[in-house]
Amino acid sequence: MLSRVADSIYWMSRYVERAENLARFVDVTFNMMLDLPPGSAGQWQPLVSATGEHEWFDEHYGEPTQENVVRFLTFDPDYPNSILCCLQAARENARSVRETISSEMWEDLNSFYLLVMDEASSSDSLQSPQDFFHEVKNASYRFKGMTDGTMPHGEPWHFARLGRYIERADKTSRILDVKYFLLLPELSDVGTAFDDLQWSAVLRSVSGLEMFRKRHHGITPERVVGFLILDRMFPRSIMYCVNEADQSLHAISGSPLGTFWNPAEKQMGKLRSELAYAHVDDDIIEVGLHEFLDAFQTKLNRIGEAIYEAFMAVDSTKVNGSRLQMQSQGFM
Amino acid sequence: MSRSPTSRLDFSTYDTAGFFDELVDETGKPRPGAELLVEKLQSLEFDELLRRQAGAERSLFRLGITFAVYGDTKGKEKIFPFDIIPRIVPSHEWEWLERGLKQRIQALNQFIDDIYHDQEILNDGIIPRDIVLGAASYRKLCQGMNPPRGIWCHITGTDLIRGADGQIHVLEDNLRCPSGVSYVLQNRLVMKRSFPQIFAASHVKPVVDYPGQLLRTLQHLAPDGLPNPTVVVLSPGSFNSAYYEHSFLAQQMGVELVQGSDLVVHDGFVNMRTTAGLKRVDVIYRRIDDDFLDPKAFRADSMLGVPGLMGVYRAGRIALANAPGTGIADDKVIYTYVDKIVRYYLAEDMIIPNVPTYMCWERKQREYVLQNLDKLVVKAANESGGYGMLIGPHSTTSEQEKFAGLVKANPRNYIAQPTLSLSRVPTIVGDDVEGRHVDLRPYILYGKDIFVLPGGLTRVALKKGSLVVNSSQGGGSKDTWVIEQS
C-alpha cells in the first residue's frame, strides 16, 4: 500500500487512542479527588508535568487548578495533544484516506469529532466532566469496533492496529508512571488506605478494576504493577499491547513471528521478549518502576521511528519492494 | 398557487415557452422514445414524484457523492443537485451523435499530433500559424513528443447544446481533464431505483461498463509486452473539488489513487512509494493540469506534480492520459477551425456543426461583432468559468464599450456567438414541474477503438431562466437515457 496512506491510517488510529487515554487520564484524577480526604494536596500538577509542557502551561494558564488543567488537556486548541486537537488530527488523517477506510468509519469519526467540538464551544462545557469523558471513551470504543468490523483485515487494518496498540502501551505506562512516581512520593503513604484508593482509581481508569479483583482479590502495588505491565489477557496491559503490535508488524511485512526482516521488527521482538520473560519483582520493582517505565517509553519511541523508516520514509534505496534486499543488508 | 399532493402532471398544459423541450413537443406530446416516461410521469401522484426525488437525494448522500464545504469546520457535506426526470435521446439521434463525436476526436487527435510534429496544417495555411503557436495552451515542451500509439486525447468530454430549431451543436471540446463522469455513473445507479419499471421497459443503453472501458483504454497505453501494467490515478488531493471523482474512478477500476508526493522518479522510471518499497508505474491517468505536472518542466512552484516526470515521458517509459499539450485543441479560437481540421485530416464534412461563431481577428467578422455587441456573447479565448465574457443582451452600454476596447486591442483573443436558446427538460421545481435549460456532455475514450459512453452528463441550470449550468453557479444534473428504439 502507499506509504502516505499507511502513515495516515497509523496516525489516525494513534490519535483516537490518544484522545481516549487522555480522557481516562483526566478521569482518574477526578475519581481520586472525589474520594480524597479534605485538604489533600493538589492532584492536578502532576498531570501537567506528565505532558512535559510545564513551562508552556505556566505561561498560558498559571495556576494548575482543576479548571485550568482540565481545560488545557481537554479543549486547548494550541496544545497539540489535547483531546480536541487529537480528534482534529485524527479526522484530518482520515479525510485524506477516505477511500481506504470505510464510509462508516469516516462518518463515525466525524461524529466523534463533532461531539468534542460541540462540548468545547458550549457555554456550559465541562459542567459534567465525567459524563463527557464517558462519552469520549464510548465514542472511541465505537470507532475501534467500526474499524475492526468494516475494514478488511489486510495491510491497512494492520497499520491501524499498530498505531492503536503502540499508543495504548505508551499511555498505560504513563498512567502508571504518573500514579507511582509523581502522585505519591512519600513512602509513609505506601500501603495505606490512601494508597489503595489511588491504585483503585488507576485500575478503574483503564477499566481493569473488576478483572484485577477477579484475578488477585487484594490490592498490593506489586500485583497492580504486574497486572498493568505483564498480564497477557488484560487488553490494556503493556504486554498485551506490545504482543498485538508485534503481530501486526509481522502481518504487514509477511515475516514469520520470532524472526525479523527490518529494524522495527527486531526492536519490537526484543521488547516483547523482555516483557514475556519478566518477573514483576526481579525485573521491575528491583530496577525501580519509574526507571523501568522510562526505559520502556524510550524503546517504544525508537520503535515508532523505526516503523517510519521502514514503511513511510521510502526512498530510492528500497527498490521494487524486495524484502530479500532488506535482509541482505545485514539486518538478520 | 399550491399544488394538491394527489394531483397529477398533465403535459398538455406544460409550457415549453418557445424552447425546444427534450421530452415533449409544444402540444405536450411525448417525443420519440419518451412515451413511456411521460406516461409514467402523468400517472404518478405529485407527492409520489417528490418522494422518489427525496429518495434519490438520500441515496446520493449515502453513496457519498458529496462536496465537503471546505473551510467549514463543522464538516458539513452537501450533494451536487440532482433531478430525477431524465433527458431522453432516441437511438437514431444517438447513432448520429456518436459518429460525429468519433469523427471529431479523430480529427482533433491528428491535429494535435501534427502541431507537435511537422505542422503541415499550418504550412498549408489552413490555420494562421500564430493563432496556434501563440495560444496560451500551446506547450513548446511537447514539440516532438511521441505519446504511446500516437494517441493524445484519451479522455474527452464534449459539450453539446440544442437550439430552438432542434439542431444539436458542439459548444466546446474538453480535452484536458474533463470531469463529471462519476456523476453519470452514480446518477444512473440512483435512477434505476427511482423508476425501475420504466427504466427496464425503455431499454436504456447501459453506462455501467465505463470504468472497465477506461481501464482498458489506459492499459492500452502501456509498453508492449507488459503483462500486467500498473495504472494509477494522479490527483491533486482531497482538497480538490473533483476529488470524489478521482477517488471513485480509481476504486471502480481497482487501481491506486496517488498524489504527486507518492510518486518519485528513480532510475529512469516513475515509482510509487509503498510500504514494500518503490513500485514501478506504467500508466498515469492524470487529473492535474499540464502546468502543475512537473516543477522541472512547467511551473516550478507546483507542489502537486512529480519532478522529472516529463523526462520519463519523453523517453517513453511512462504513459500519461491525457497527453500533455492537448490543451491546444481545447482552445476557443481553435474551435472555430474544427470544420477545417476535419476536412484537412479526414477529407470529410464535419457531422455535428459548431455553434455559429465569429472570429474577431477577421476584419469583416470583427466589424459585425462590434456593431452587434448587445446581441452577442463575446468570449476571451483563454478564460473559462464565465470570466472574460460579455453576455450582450444582459450588459450595460459601458460594459459593451469596455469590451469593444478589449476586442480592438487584442482581436486574436476573442470570439463571439449568438445567444443560444438552449433546449429544456422538465424539472421538479417546488410543487410543480417546469422546463429548465440543459446541455449534454458525452464522454469519449480513445484507446484501441473509440468508445462513446451512451448518454453522458446532462447538466441543468436550476435557476429559472438561467442558461448557466456550472455546478459552481447553481447547476445540477440529470440522468441521460439513450433509448433503444424498435
- For residue B235, the chain A residue with the least C-alpha distance is A96
Give A 299-318 residues with CB within 8 A of chain B. Answer: 310-312, 314-316, 318
Q: Which residues of A touch B237 (CB under 8 A)?
A: 96
Q: Are residues A107 and A238 in the same domain?
A: no
- For residue A156, the chain B residue with the least C-alpha distance is B275
Query: Tens of pLDDT along A101-136?
Result: 988 899 899 999 999 998 988 877 777 888 899 999
Per-residue confidence band for A326, with pLDDT thresholds at 50, 70 and 90: very low
Q: Report the C-alpha gap between B89 and B482 in whole angstroms.
A: 5
Phi first, then psi: what are they for B354, rounded to 5°?
Answer: -75, 170
- For residue A111, the chain B residue with the least C-alpha distance is B75
Q: Quick count: other Cβ atoms within 10 Å of Cβ B218?
A: 25
Phi first, then psi: what are they for A131, rounded to 5°?
Answer: -65, -40
Distance from CA of A6 to the nearest CA of B (A): 7
Distance from CA of A268 to the nearest CA of B (A): 18
pLDDT at A21: 93
Question: Is A96 close to B267, i.e. CB distance below 8 A?
Answer: no
Phi first, then psi: what are they for A39, rounded to 5°?
Answer: 85, 5
Residue A156 lies in a domain: no
Which residue in A113, A318, A323 is closest to B278 by CB distance? A318
Q: Which residues of A touch B257 (CB under 8 A)?
A: 99
Give the strand pairing for B168-174 and B231-234.
unpaired
Question: Is A314 close to B278, i.e. CB distance below 8 A?
Answer: yes
Q: Which residues of B touch A316 (CB under 8 A)?
A: 264, 266-267, 278
Q: Report the C-alpha gap between B423 and B440 in whole angstroms.
A: 10
Q: Are residues A84 and A131 in the same domain?
A: yes
Distance from CA of A303 to the nearest CA of B (A): 16
Say whether pLDDT at A323 is over 50.
Answer: no
Could you list the residue range(s) of the whole structural domain that residue A182 is in?
163-332
Mean pLDDT within A53-62: 87
Q: Are residues A37 and A125 in the same domain?
A: yes
What is the share, in percent, of chain A residues with pLDDT greater than 70? 88
Which residue in B73, B261, B279 is closest to A320 by CB distance? B279
pLDDT at A327: 33
ipTM passes above 0.95 = no
Third-level CATH fold of B358-418: Dna Ligase; domain 1 (3.30.1490)
Give B 31-90 residues with CB within 8 A of chain A. Answer: 64, 68, 73-75
Question: Is A323 close to B276, i.e. CB distance below 8 A?
Answer: yes
pLDDT at B369: 93
| Rounded mean pLDDT for each run of 10 residues along chain B, 486 residues in total | 80 91 94 92 92 91 64 62 94 96 97 97 94 89 93 96 94 90 92 88 91 95 86 92 88 93 95 94 96 93 94 94 93 92 97 94 92 90 68 87 90 88 93 93 96 95 78 82 84
Q: Are residues A130 and A216 in the same domain?
A: no
pLDDT at B410: 87
CB A230, CB A240: distance < 8 Å: no
Which residue in B64, B74, B274 is closest to A1 by CB distance? B274
* Neighbouring residues of A325: CB distance < 8 A, sequence distance ≥ 6: A318, A319
What's the one-letter identity of residue B183?
Y
Which residue in A99, A155, A320 is closest to B275 by CB distance? A155
C-alpha cell at position B115: 502541431
Say whether pLDDT at A322 is over 80.
Answer: no
C-alpha cell at position A286: 528491583
pLDDT at A115: 92
Mean pLDDT within A63-72: 87
- For residue A316, the chain B residue with the least C-alpha distance is B266
Question: Is B274 close to A91, i.e. CB distance below 8 A?
Answer: no
Q: Which residues of B touch A1 (CB under 8 A)?
A: 274-275
| Mean pLDDT for all residues in chain A | 86
Q: Which of A92, A123, A151 is the last residue of a domain?
A: A151
Distance from CA of A315 to the nearest CA of B (A): 7
User: Into how many domains does chain A fold?
Assistant: 2
Q: Report the C-alpha gap between A26 and A47 in whole angstroms.
A: 8
Question: Is A2 close to B237, i.e. CB distance below 8 A?
Answer: no
Question: Is A110 close to B73, i.e. CB distance below 8 A?
Answer: no
Question: Is A252 close to B275, i.e. CB distance below 8 A?
Answer: yes
Say whether pLDDT at A17 is over 90.
Answer: yes
Please state the domain extents for chain B: 358-418
Distance from CA of B262 to the nearest CA of A (A): 7
Which residue in B64, B68, B278 is closest to A319 by CB distance? B278
Q: Are residues A115 and A202 in the same domain?
A: no
pLDDT at B76: 59
B302: left (phi over 0), alpha (psi -120 to 50) or beta: beta
Q: Report the C-alpha gap between A245 and A228 in whole angstroms.
A: 17
Q: Which residues of B touch A312 (CB under 8 A)?
A: 275
B140 to chain A, any CB pair closer than 8 A? The answer is: no
Residue A157 lies in a domain: no
Give B 263-292 residues with CB within 8 A of chain A. Answer: 264, 266-267, 271-280
* Neighbouring residues of A264: CB distance < 8 A, sequence distance ≥ 6: A249, A303, A306, A307, A309, A310, A311
Q: Are residues A36 and A90 in the same domain?
A: yes
- Spatial CA neighbour of B138 closest among B157, B119, B124, B155: B119
Per-residue confidence band for A321, with pLDDT thresholds at 50, 70 and 90: very low
Q: Check the CA dihedral B58-B61-B65-B68 and report its sign.
A: positive
Q: Which of A131, A151, A171 is the last residue of a domain?
A: A151
Helix (H) or strand (E) holding B269: strand B269-274
Query: Tens of pLDDT along A231-262?
Result: 999 999 999 999 999 999 999 999 998 899 99
Q: Are residues A126 and A170 in the same domain?
A: no
Our measurement of the distance from residue A60's CA atom to the centroid of its chain's CA atoms, rounded to an integer in Å, reads 26
Question: Is A319 close to B237, i.e. CB distance below 8 A?
Answer: no
